[in-house]
Structure 1
Amino acid sequence: MTAIQELKKLSNQLFINGEFRTSVATDGIEAINPATEETIGHMPFTTAAEVEEAIEIANQSQKAWNKVNALARAELMHKIATNMREARGVLGEMLTREMGKPYKETTDEVDWSASAVDYYAEVARHDYGKVVGPAVDNQFHFTLKEPMGVVVIILPFNFPFCLLCWSAAAALATGNAVIVKPSENTALSTLKFMEAFSPLPDGLIQCLPGGGDVGRQLVESTDTHMVAFTGSVPTGQFVARACADQFKPCLIEASGNDPFLVMPSASMEMAARGATFAAYLNCGQVCTSAERFFVHQDIYESFIEKLIFNAKALRIGNGLEKIDVGPMVSAKERERYEKILQRAIDQGANVASGGGRPTALNTGWFVEPTVLTGINPEMDIMNAESFGPSAPICKVSSLDEAIELANKSRFGLGATIYTSDLNEAMHAVNAIETGMVWVNAPLLDNDAGPFGGRKMTGMGRQLGAEGLDTFRHTKLAMIDPGANDQDFWWFPYKDEEAFPDK
């Protein structure tokens, strides 16, 4: 079956209890190819009754899964990773057709997803708790790691496979069940992705397409036990508040507004190439995109010249063709981004390159990679996530000024610095207020290292050993095998230990 046929087949479908079924919903939206503007399918809005059914099934499945030993879980998860790799071609094509980014990027995403599943399959076996030194003679004290229960994963459109697996792999490996609420822009591809999880018992992972009402019901349910959310700040705040009402744990990865620092000691060739990738990957629709550039005055002009050259060389077009940058995901997203760009121009920014819609592409939601100069740090574009292909460049006189401006943000996801000076690199790593810092290596991820941010970016971590504990409770157990007296603090208290008589 072709990718086009798969998209049609999955229209109006849900994935519940290990099988696809047609939703009884009467509401939904069309799935549109952002490069061609053709309708490729239809996504239903899962009904409240269907959501409740999925929650009940997830709770039943989780109880059984929690009893499965760690080795058996790992073996099943490795099979899932194998399934992903075997389906990378069709998954990549479907995702490109549904959200627009180049086939190279969508197939890479499948590989990254499989890698995360393999990683957590093994890492979860290594840490089920630990023995702690007892506080009382002849006792045994230790900690246990236990699953949360049913984990809700609410996904964005930009990396639906990867971000699903960063949370789902850790959650499943630690004994949880998972319910996925995909983005409205990538629901059909995410449904197809569910087939890779076929080695799991039915009901352990389910996928419920829909809008905000579906997410709200999943978050507010007293029968879900943890929420992993990636998306906007306002929605992340709603999720956090709703979880707080129940003291329900949540992982929030909201907006980024990442700084990119360039110092005179850096290789200008590599800095410009790194900046091109960091600003324009996935048409700028990446939470860790470089969105604020702070370039030292000594190399300001030469850096801009090289970045403009690189930006103009990027091939824009349909992600299934030989291109570098695809369209934005929707007409609504393009309009939102263009308003941000126009606001920057109104505030005095100069468009050094790009800034419009490609004249050769009359169909599709394309925008040109843009370089903005004449930037000051007070402009709106420097203080909120633009989530589009722009590189606003601010001139600075020193590393300290660059770091001060980098930290002058409500957000704190990632930051990049280009320098060949180790002192500068270490100073930046220690001083920049973000969850991640890349030195001469923008946007890299590592399954073994924690991903997440600070400030209004959110809270919690995915990936690494830290990502396991995001989806686990820690329980302390203390055993006295001899059931001995605890006279040092039990009743009755000794008279000589009472408050002394005057």
Structure 2
Amino acid sequence: MGGEEDIDRAVASSRRCYESDEWQSLTATERGELLDALADEIEANIDRLSRAETLANGKLLSAMRSQVESLPGWYRYYAGLADKVTGDTIQSDKERMFTFTLTEPYGVVGVITPWNSPLMLATYKLAPAFAAGNTAVLKPSEITPVSAIMLAELALDAGFPPGALNVVTGYGDAGAALSTHDNIDKVAFTGGTDTGSKVGAAAGKNIIPATLELGGKSANIVFPDADLDNAVVGAVKGIFAATGQTCIAGSRLFLHESIHDEFVDRLVERAESLALGDPRDENTEMGPVAFDGQFEKVQKYVDIGKEEATLVTGGEQRTDLSGELFYAPTIFTGVENDMRIAQEEIFGPVLSVLTYEDEEEVIELANDTEYGLAAGVWTENVRRAIRVSSKLEAGVVWVNAYRESSFTTPSGGYKKSGIGIEKGKDAIEQYIQRKSVWIETEGIVSDPFKLI
């Protein structure tokens, strides 16, 4: 239960490391080598790390293993970028001037991460931050702190200097102390929009940059020409994978009115056949809700949904399973876009189904939300796919797919879904600042009293 004093100690430690000769003398290539070494350490500990994640948040062991298995690739990608982010030589319009830019790290980065994909979401921030030359203090969720501590141990084993990565476990007061600390140079946060707003306000007060990856209420749109077999799978994957506990969940499903009834029948059949159970069992398809408070939130919204729309399946705790946090995959139809279950992030296995008449209407409905994190489009018409993708207000749009991710491809949020970019080569730009240098090449020959 770390608090303000622990955050002070951690930030001071990361500051000492950042300013030390040991860190400052590292070339960009050598920083890349450290990231490569960390990738090797993670690769050697995949079983331990993935089990720690599953035991903490109840997500499928197969899903957590898949995430952890992908992490070495992320660190190696940014290892490769470390010495490729360079300044530019600029052809100045001023005579006698040679100009160029330098890329420099910010310094100490404060990183705050949630409980749903702890190591993955920390990696989105730490890998480019280290590649750019920053040190970091990580405050993981109080629900899932263990894997973060393990990551810090592996960083030491990989050769990172003490203080390059500090981890402070704790509750919201620790996160608040980190985001408001006057000795960090940037903050990177993933979590709910309300908390993200406070983190952003704290960064603004301290005049430091913030990367914020926040909530979502993502639209998953099925057109009548779509391959319905694939689209049903995509709808299920979009909302029930990870028990709906993901910011990119396709929680608003838009069906053309001509396919609504058939699609819902197939969707309900698949949802009711999902195998719920022990997330460590390879046959389990959906695990429990992560913790009591989240379970209560899901139930609250389901109760609201029962008053607003039509419940067609689920809507209750699964009492036939060993454990109290299993919630049945839940689907509502007859949902209007202004209903609370269509506008507010539930973060659970609850799907709102809406209908539309034409392309123009569904684009308007999909964009009619304060969020803009992700979207899905299901169509066999490539022209429509391009048209609709360009008009959707979302940082990521998948066509005939859902929940795909890669270190090569940037993502960010529109509107209240966030600020800044994660993933891809653009992410490293979030952790550097550029300095312009002007060199007068022929001696000052102008009137020294003439200012312009």
Tell me the TM-score range normalised by the shorter chain: over 0.9
1:492 Cα deviation from its structure 2 partner: 4.0
1:399 Cα deviation from its structure 2 partner: 1.6
2:180 equivalent in structure 1: 220
Q: Secondary structure at the match of 1:228?
A: strand
2:37 equivalent in structure 1: 79
1:91 equivalent in structure 2: 49
1:441-452 aligned at under 5 Å gives the runs 441-452=401-412
1:315 equivalent in structure 2: 275
Paired residue type of 2:313: S
2:10 equivalent in structure 1: 54
1:212 Cα deviation from its structure 2 partner: 1.4
Contact map agreement 2:112 2:189 (CA 8 A) in 1: yes
1:486 Cα deviation from its structure 2 partner: 4.8
| d(CA) in 1 for partners of 2:167, 2:425 | 26
Q: Percent identity?
A: 28
1:491 equivalent in structure 2: 448
Paired residue type of 2:395: G
Paired residue type of 1:429: S
Compared with structure 1, are the counterparts of its residues 67 and 377 closer, same or farther at alpha carbon in structure 2 (3 Å cutoff)?
A: same
Structure 2 unaligned spans of 5+: none
Paired residue type of 1:491: P
Structure 1 unaligned spans of 5+: 1-44, 498-502
1:124 Cα deviation from its structure 2 partner: 2.3
Q: Secondary structure at the match of 1:456?
A: helix
2:164 aligned with 1:208: no
2:412 aligned with 1:466: no
Paired residue type of 1:151: V
1:493 Cα deviation from its structure 2 partner: 4.4
| d(CA) in 2 for partners of 1:164, 1:237 | 19
1:282 equivalent in structure 2: 242
1:258-337 aligned at under 5 Å gives the runs 258-321=218-281, 322-337=283-298
1:456 equivalent in structure 2: 416
Paired residue type of 1:332: G
1:6-61 Cα distance to aligned partner (Å, 9 max, x none): xxxxxxxxxxxxxxxxxxxxxxxxxxxxxxxxxxxxxxx11433221211110011
Q: Secondary structure at the match of 2:422?
A: coil
1:99-156 Cα distance to aligned partner (Å, 9 max, x none): 1001111111112322211111111211121111122344321111111110011000
1:92-131 aligned at under 5 Å gives the runs 92-131=50-89
Q: Secondary structure at the match of 1:474?
A: strand
Decide which moves more: 66-75 or 178-187: 66-75
| d(CA) in 1 for partners of 2:244, 2:112 | 21
1:322-356 Cα distance to aligned partner (Å, 9 max, x none): 20111111011011111101101111x22212221
Larger radius of gyration: 1
Compared with structure 1, are the counterparts of its residues 201 and 407 closer, same or farther at alpha carbon in structure 2 (3 Å cutoff)?
A: same
1:169-199 Cα distance to aligned partner (Å, 9 max, x none): 0001111001000001101222122222122
1:434 Cα deviation from its structure 2 partner: 1.0
| d(CA) in 2 for partners of 1:49, 1:331 | 29
Q: Secondary structure at the match of 2:312?
A: strand
1:238-249 aligned at under 5 Å gives the runs 238-249=198-209
Contact map agreement 2:29 2:82 (CA 8 A) in 1: no
1:294-333 Cα distance to aligned partner (Å, 9 max, x none): 1101111121122112212211111111201111110110
Paired residue type of 2:14: A
Which runs of at least 4 in structure 1 moved beyond 6 Å after TM superposition? Answer: none
2:305 equivalent in structure 1: 344
Decide which moves more: 355-364 or 161-170: 355-364
User: Which residue, out of 339, 358, 361, partners 1:379?
Assistant: 339
Contact map agreement 2:31 2:82 (CA 8 A) in 1: no
Query: TM (normalized to structure 2)?
Result: 0.96
Query: TM (normalized to structure 1)?
Result: 0.87
Contact map agreement 1:66 1:176 (CA 8 A) in 2: no
